[in-house]
Structure 1
Amino acid sequence: MSGRYAVPDVPGFVDACDTVELKAVLPEGEGRRAAASLGFDLAEAVTREVFYLDTPALGLERAGIIVRVRRTGASGADATVRLRPADPAAIDPDLRRRKGFTVELDMSPGGFVCSASLKTRLAGATVAAAVGRRTPPSALFTPRQGRLFHAYAPHGLTLDGLSLFGPVPVRRLAGSAHGWPHPLSVQLWEFPAEPVLELSSRVAVADAAQAVARWPVFLDRHRVRPWIFRHTKAQAALRALEPRPTYG
């Protein structure tokens, strides 16, 4: 389905979040046209590789846990453990204060969902060793991330017992566009069967209500008609890619 962008009212628990991210996803062809209309040249994009870790039967996804690793050439990488959906009121206050931990509200034509993430930065070589099966996946995550994983993962699952999905090449640009006062990100996710382009903008909670009201007008001005996809990007990657063994 596609049509004029519409999102629900900003939910009441938004004040418990750190940021709000507005999203619009389009098929590749329409996405490229939209990117050009917004002044983004995908030929200048930086390519990032995105990997996911899960069981072959996608046990983590069913439990609402996303384990993701991203690498941008040799310049750097990051690893994230994410809870999606998450209840901000149920999160440990001590965890909320930790560096790298964020609670975000994602809003799209399909509705909204709150997620909680703990991210750490890595060296690109560290990721290369893990995806090359020379080091175990747990080497990519901090002890605190490991504890978060074990607190929510199905009983018996460990980071080193997961399979690797990926990489998905993602061509990314960040900048600004006329008529929108917040930073804008353009990402072309090159899934094997159905590449999609995502437009997104992360705004402060204090600006969320105004941004939500202005976002549809901004997209209409550039004739952007978002699609409602059945899956998130993580779900699409896990379904499009074959799991492969990790360390050993």
Structure 2
Amino acid sequence: MNAQYAVPDVPAFLDACDTVELKAVLTEAEGRRAARSLGFDLGDALTRHVYYLDTPGLALDAAGVIMRIRQTGDAGADATVRIRPADPAALDPELRRRKGFHVELDMCPDRFVCSASLKTRLAGATVAAAVAGRTPPGSLFTPRQRRLYQAYAPHGAALDGLSLFGPVRVRRLAGAVRGWQHQLAVQLWEFPAEPVLELSSKVAAADAAVAVARWSSFLDLHRVIPRLFRHTKSQTALRASAPRAAYS
């Protein structure tokens, strides 16, 4: 379904966010055309493999808790606990001061949503051992991440008992483009049934009002018409593969 990008009102809690990420999601064919128009060659893209943890019945997804593991070749990886939607006013002030904790407002054509996340960097070998089932998935997360998870996860969803979903291969490029003052990222998510390409640009909260006002014109310049999809990328990834025991 096509969606003309209508700029939503910037919510009152914008000042409580660290960044705003503007997004436009396209089908693969439309996305490849847009990438070429923007000067990106997907053949040069960096490849990531993205995994998610959830219960077989997707209880975390229903509770707004996202557990993501991401690996980029043998070079590096990261693990993220994300709460979406999140109310910045309800977040622990001590947690907000911690390195790696981030509050972001995602803005899409039809909605905006605030999320809070805590990310840690990992060694690629550590992730390889976890996704192969040789070590428990909880070993990838720091004590603070585990506490954040426990504060929002539904009752009975023990971290080391979660199932593993994925991987989804993601090809990513980022750089400067004509008509836009901020860095633009291009990500091709190779879902089996329906690959999608996302254009996104992350800006500081202080610059958000101007960027949001110009985003629609920038998309028009490159004839990009975002589409509306039923599920987010994380939800699509969870539904694109069968769950398997992460550790036994």
Equivalent in the alignment of 2:172: 172
Q: After TM superposition, which residue ranges in structure 1, 4 or more long, deviate above 4 angstroms?
A: none
Equivalent in the alignment of 1:192: 192
Equivalent in the alignment of 1:135: 135
Q: In the TM superposition, what is the alpha-carbon distance from 1:7 to its structure 2 partner? A: 2.4
Asked if the contact 2:7/2:213 (under 8 Å) is kept, the reply is no
Q: How does 1:113-132 map to 2 (within 5 A)?
A: 113-132=113-132
Q: In the TM superposition, what is the alpha-carbon distance from 1:32 to its structure 2 partner? A: 0.2
Equivalent in the alignment of 2:201: 201
Q: In the TM superposition, what is the alpha-carbon distance from 1:6 to its structure 2 partner? A: 1.5
Q: In the TM superposition, what is the alpha-carbon distance from 1:110 to its structure 2 partner? A: 1.7
Equivalent in the alignment of 2:8: 8
Q: How does 1:1-248 map to 2 (within 5 A)?
A: 1-248=1-248
Secondary structure of 1:53's counterpart equals strand
Asked if the contact 1:46/1:172 (under 8 Å) is kept, the reply is yes
Asked if the contact 2:136/2:160 (under 8 Å) is kept, the reply is yes
Q: In the TM superposition, what is the alpha-carbon distance from 1:126 to its structure 2 partner? A: 0.5
Letter in 2 for 1:197: L
Question: What CA deviation, in whole Å up to 9, does each residue of 1:49-75 have, x standing for no partner?
Answer: 000000000000001100000000010
TM superposition score normalised by structure 1 = 0.99
Secondary structure of 2:244's counterpart equals coil
CA distance in 2, matches of 1:152, 1:201: 28
Q: In the TM superposition, what is the alpha-carbon distance from 1:23 to its structure 2 partner? A: 0.1
Measured on the aligned residues, the alpha-carbon RMSD in Å equals 0.6
CA distance in 1, matches of 2:39, 2:5: 20
CA distance in 2, matches of 1:34, 1:6: 19
CA distance in 2, matches of 1:240, 1:246: 17
TM superposition score normalised by structure 2 = 0.99
Asked if the contact 2:131/2:246 (under 8 Å) is kept, the reply is yes
Letter in 2 for 1:18: D
Q: In the TM superposition, what is the alpha-carbon distance from 1:4 to its structure 2 partner? A: 2.6
CA distance in 2, matches of 1:195, 1:113: 23
Secondary structure of 2:60's counterpart equals helix
Q: In the TM superposition, what is the alpha-carbon distance from 1:157 to its structure 2 partner? A: 1.4
Q: In the TM superposition, what is the alpha-carbon distance from 1:184 to its structure 2 partner? A: 0.5
Q: In the TM superposition, what is the alpha-carbon distance from 1:215 to its structure 2 partner? A: 0.4
CA distance in 1, matches of 2:204, 2:238: 30
Aligned-pair identity (%): 75
Question: What CA deviation, in whole Å up to 9, does each residue of 1:183-211 have, x standing for no partner?
Answer: 11000000000000000000011110100
Secondary structure of 2:61's counterpart equals helix
Asked if the contact 2:3/2:228 (under 8 Å) is kept, the reply is no
CA distance in 2, matches of 1:53, 1:91: 23
CA distance in 2, matches of 1:240, 1:157: 21
CA distance in 2, matches of 1:156, 1:29: 42
CA distance in 1, matches of 2:209, 2:12: 11
Letter in 2 for 1:214: R
Secondary structure of 1:187's counterpart equals strand
List runs of 5+ in structure 2 lacking aligned partners.
none
CA distance in 2, matches of 1:51, 1:110: 27
CA distance in 1, matches of 2:3, 2:223: 10
